[in-house]
Amino acid sequence: MVTITIPKKLTNGKELIIVPKEDWEKILKLARKKISQLKLEKGIEEALEEVKKGKLVGPFDKVEDLMESLEK
């Protein structure tokens, strides 16, 4: 991958890097995939905590059982 670094002197103190668009799209795709995985893992952890605390109920075989559970 070819990259070009632009010195801080030319960019008001921020160093910039130029990469080909194709490479940038690959990097972006990987980053989005990783973020999705992290969100999924966090959601699973939260669900398991709720199970441990007894916050989840069901499944129900009949609507009447569901309604009874909701009334509690």
Of 13, 15, 14, 11, nearest to 3 (Cα)? 15
Summarised one tens digit per residue, pLDDT across range 15-64 is 888 889 999 999 999 999 998 888 888 888 888 888 788 777 777 888 88
pLDDT at 68: 84
Mean pLDDT to the nearest integer, 8-15: 85
pLDDT at 52: 83
Neighbour count for residue 24 (Cβ, 10 Å): 12
In the chain, domain spans: 4-71
Peptide bond before residue 20 is cis, with ω within 30 degrees of 0: no
Q: Please name the residues in contact with 57: beta carbons below 8 A apart, sequence gap of 6 or more.
A: 69
pLDDT at 26: 94
pLDDT at 1: 75
DSSP secondary structure code for residue 55 in this structure: -
